[in-house]
Structure 1
Amino acid sequence: MEATARTSPLRYGAGMFGTSLPINLVKGSMLYVYVELLGLDAVVYATVYAVYGVLDALDNPVFGYLSDRTRSRWGRRRPYLVVGALVLTVTTIALFSVPGAVADSAVGLAVWFAVFAITTEMADSLINASYGALLPELFTDERRRATANAVRQGAQLVALVIALALTPVLARNVLGSEGSAVGYGRLAIIFGVVAAAVILWTAFGVREDPALDAEPKPQFFRSVGQIVSTAHFWTVGVVNACYGTAMALVLGGLQLYVDHTLGGSALEASILQLVVIAVAIGMLSVWAAVVRRKGAAWTWRVALPVAAAGFVPLYFATDLVTGILAGLAVAVGYSGVLATNDLVIARVLDADAARHGTHRSGLFLAAFGVLGRLNGLLTAAALASLTLWFGYRSGADPGPDPGQAFRVYLSVYPFALLAIGTVVSRFIRLPAAPEAAGAAGAASSAGSDSEPDAEPDVEPVTR
């Protein structure tokens, strides 16, 4: 029986809530907690973050390779989901629960940050190397795959509401107080435990296709060589990295943007993020409908420039009202890329499996992750540039114009990155959707000259 008949898209997709909750607390609050509240120098933070980005890029292929080669009674992917969930809970709690003696020492704070930021990101990589690989393997039809992806992206957006939009108020007004990191530590405990429970629930509900165990185990160096020689690795990977870096800047800098640029409070930061995420959730169904009508590739190419243009109004916002209006523009484009990006990547994984006769989705996704995780270097450079050009070093030493610093950080940099991604996307010829590729193969066998389905950007896939 096909694996798609035995795994619920709802149960698979809900796992994204668990994977997103703690890591978005990290992405959305780590910079604020360590630099603004605990006083870690922005240059030190940027340096550690750059190292963290390199190490995180290196561990991705290892985790993906191990996942692809695993053959066990519990499946290939499930063991890594279980172990990763438990490790992620522990490291997230430690990252936001800095002992007083450590916080009082500049060196101690930097070391604590480096150790637990890196291990938290490694745990996230361990989980997502397997979780992401399950999407193309469990759902082989693009329409059913789009449904599963819509569920998981919706689950991610719900997690964003909690981990981003509600966090400022919860951490600074409910569980803690303004100027203190205590509330963030308490939230980390709650989020970590809930996330582990959800990921474990998903892991034990996934039914992997046992037929895939009969495929030959991929060889690391041979597979890496084949992957990096594939044009889609570089083209789709670069676009994905541009999008990922832009969103990393937004997630990390939004609370600082509200504080310094809009002159807002924790409540206003929560309101802005809540409105943006709520609109993104609503737009997800609209973009999903466009995908069903026009295909993932066409919709993806439209969503990217819309996302880029959405960051322009953020530069001109001056208060909560104009910030919300600007945020609505961001939400529309962000939702579009969210609805299509993984579908585009899944097509590349399908083509690779058909071409080489083995599913090595974990390693291929990890290879994409090398490009994407290197966004740590760009994020670090962007943060360091605020010290160089605007004099911002920390909450205790914000420089003469922190408002302009974070206006640039949250608007100009993301716009530039997504503009690059938009240009690159115009030169990419994507593989056919799985059902279109199957139709093309049948037509070829019958001697037909007809084109598959509705995608003009189809590349032939050979085994």
Structure 2
Amino acid sequence: MNKKWMNSPFTYALGMFALMIPSQAFNSFYSYYYVEKLGLGVGLATLARTLYLIWDAVNQPIAGYLSDRTRTRFGRRKPWLYSAIPLFMAAFVMVFAVPHGLKDMDLFLWFLVSLILYEGVATILWVNYGALFPELFRGNRIRAKASAIQQGFQIVAILIGSALTPLVFDAFGFGYMALIYAVLFGLFMLLCVMSVQEGSQADAEPKLGLVEAFRETLKNKEFWLFNIANSFAQTVNGLLSSMIPFYAKYALRIPEAQVTFLLASIFVSVIPLVMVWYWIVNKLGAHNGWRVSLAVYALSVVPLWFGQGLASGITFGIIVGFGLAGFLVTPPVLNSRIIDLDTARTGQRREGVYTAVSGFITRSSGLISALSFWIIGMIYGYVSGDDPGPNPDLTFRVLICVVPFCLLMVSLIISLFLKPFSVNEDSRK
């Protein structure tokens, strides 16, 4: 590959583009597919998600620890990434290529096994891809640039994975949709990994033992405050994506084909609004900008309660897009700075462990989302698409407005306890 593309922010961002297309399609439509289309009960769907999280609690930190200790002539992360690409493609297709006629426990078992396989391989990809960011890009200025480019690619991928997906599965079915997205993922992820050249300085570092590595991570107060606050906001991202198809059907009462326009109103608007938020963050600083973005995100979901029909749904979707854009801007820079401070304290570059534990905290937010769906469903009587209960309209207005607002307020309160990091010459580079 041409040297100018090696370790380029643009080619690195292709990895985010590749990962987010299937990930967004999964997050937005797996609940809708299994619960609404295939008739799996919300209780069984929640149980499957809970069992996955038990497995995820183990594989996330181990994946990070093993990645940090890997030493090959190709680097620490690349061998893991190359190995996981075909496995992820197969697992993603399995999630949506459900054999015809599966019901009840058979459907639950298929969902559980495919979920565990999909998320297990996704862990390897996300941990190793995320661990490359603070290693490849040193200093806040280049990180801000790389993050901006990465968010641009991410938003385009989110748009494809959410807004375009209803058109794709309506035309080809869920199984072929998964196959198309798996091929796109494989092509762009290979281009990303081929463009990465890892540094050799980590090879000379002594290897921390497993217990010692996690003891240091658990002692990092800034890391925990930042990631727990972000996890509640990340729950909202997943909840909004997964609930919009239900909200469109039961609250807005629009045809399934028009869900594309509703999703597009959120994610298309994010593209220019990210630039607005970069201006705001530059004025306020990273910490204050992050906090303001959480408050704005919380307020942006309130109008969804009043949605009636496609026009109001699109209008309120654009407002949500403004809140979402703010949340996407600052986390990569702040998280990388936390890793830098850990390196200065321990003499170790442990991007893998930090990315893994951060990923586990973020993914744990999926349990909050699943439990919210189950609890609110029980309160208002929603069981599945076959048994939506007496008031599905109210069910999904609560899930898409009230629950996200409460979660974001919790996130904002936690963020107030995170003090600004000390600024030194390295952070200005």
AA partner of residue 308 (structure 1) = A
The farther-off stretch of 70-79 and 50-59 is 50-59
Q: Any conservation in 2 of the 1:68–1:218 contact (CA below 8 Å)? A: no
Moved over 6 A (4+): none
Residue 230 of structure 1 corresponds to 220
Q: CA separation in 2, counterparts of 1:421 and 1:198?
A: 33
Cα distance in 1 between the residues matched to 2:280 and 2:198:
30
Give how far 1:339 is off.
1.0
1:250 paired to 2:240: yes
Contact map agreement 1:54 1:373 (CA 8 A) in 2: no
Equivalent of 2:330 in 329, 340, 343: 340
Aligned to 1:13: 13
1:131 to 125, 129, 132: 129
Q: Is 1:265–2:255 an aligned residue pair? A: yes
2:274 and 2:329 in contact (8 A); partners too: yes
Check conservation: 2:372, 2:399, Cα contact below 8 A: yes
Per-residue CA deviations over 1:317-373 (Å, capped at 9, x if unaligned) read 121111112111211111111111121111111111111111101101211222222
Equivalents in 1 of 2:181, 2:60: separation in Å?
24
| Cα deviation code 1:181-202 (max 9, x no counterpart) | xx11111000001101111110
Question: Post-superposition shift, 1:306?
Answer: 0.6
Deviation per CA, 1:432-463: give whole Å up to 9, x if none.
4xxx4236xxxxxxxxxxxx97xxxxxxxxxx
- One of 136, 152, 166 as aligned partner of 1:154: 152
Percent of counterpart pairs with the same letter? 34
The superposition leaves residues 247-293 of structure 1 with CA deviations (integer Å, 9 ceiling, x where unpaired) of 11111111111111110112321001112101101111222233445
Name the structure 2 match of 1:460: none
Please show how residues 325-364 of structure 1 align to structure 2 within 5 Å.
325-364=315-354
SS of 2:149's equivalent? helix
Structure 2: give runs of 5+ residues left out of the alignment: none
The aligned amino acid for 2:151 is: Q
Correspondence 1:138-217 to 2 at 5 A = 138-172=136-170, 174-175=171-172, 183-217=173-207
SS in 1 for 2:241: helix
1:24 matched to which residue of 2? 24
Cα distance change on mapping 1:192 and 1:119 into 2, 3 Å: same
CA displacement, residues 25-62 of structure 1 (integer Å, 9 cap, x when unaligned): 11011001100000001111111112222322321101
The structure 1 residue matched to 2:414, chosen from 424, 427, 432, is 424
Cα deviation 1:83-108 (Å, max 9, x = unaligned): 2221111001011001114x2x3111
Work out which of the residue numbers 429, 438, 448 in structure 1 matches 2:425: 438
Tell me if structure 1 keeps the 8 A contact 2:147–2:329: yes
SS in 2 for 1:400: coil
**Runs of 5+ unmatched residues, structure 1:** 176-182, 440-451, 454-463
User: Secondary structure of the residue that 1:114 maps to in structure 2?
Assistant: helix
Where do 1:319-398 residues align within 5 Å?
A: 319-398=309-388
Partners of 2:46 and 2:370 within 8 A in 1: yes
Q: Which residue of 1 aligns with 2:96?
A: 96
**Structure 1 counterpart SS, 2:424:** helix
Aligned-partner residue type, residue 123 of structure 2: S
SS in structure 2 at match of 1:416: helix
| CA shift for structure 1 position 430 | 3.5
State the alpha-carbon separation in 1 of the partners of residues 241 and 82 from structure 2: 27
1:110 is matched with: 108
TM-score, length-scaled by structure 2: 0.96
Alpha-carbon distance in structure 1 between the residues aligned to 2:119 and 2:300: 28
Label 1:231 to 1:4 Cα distance change in 2 as closer, same or farther (>3 A).
Answer: farther
Question: Which residue identity lines up with residue 122 of structure 2 in the other structure?
Answer: D
Give the SS at the match of 2:330: helix
SS at match of 1:100: coil
Shift in CA distance, 128/4, structure 1 to aligned 2, threshold 3 Å: farther
Shift of 1:294: 4.0
CA positional deviation for 1:6: 4.8
Superposition RMSD on alpha carbons, in Å?
1.8
Task: Give the equivalent residue in structure 2 for 1:121.
Answer: 119
Contact 2:60–2:123 (8 Å) recurs in 1: yes
Is 1:401 matched with 2:391? yes
Q: TM-score, normalised by structure 1?
A: 0.89
**Conserved 8 A contact 1:75-1:208:** yes
> Conserved in 1, the CA contact under 8 Å of 2:307 and 2:316?
yes
Contact 1:15/1:202, CA 8 A, preserved across alignment: yes
Structure 1's 226 and 108: CA in aligned 2 closer, same or farther, altered over 3 A? same
Letter in 1 for 2:163: A
The 1:310–1:380 alpha-carbon spacing in structure 2 relative to 1, beyond 3 Å, is same
- Secondary structure of 1:166's counterpart equals helix
Contact 2:298 2:404 in 1 (8 A): yes
Distance 1:198 1:430 in 2: 37
Contact kept, 8 Å, 2:5 with 2:11, in 1: the verdict is no
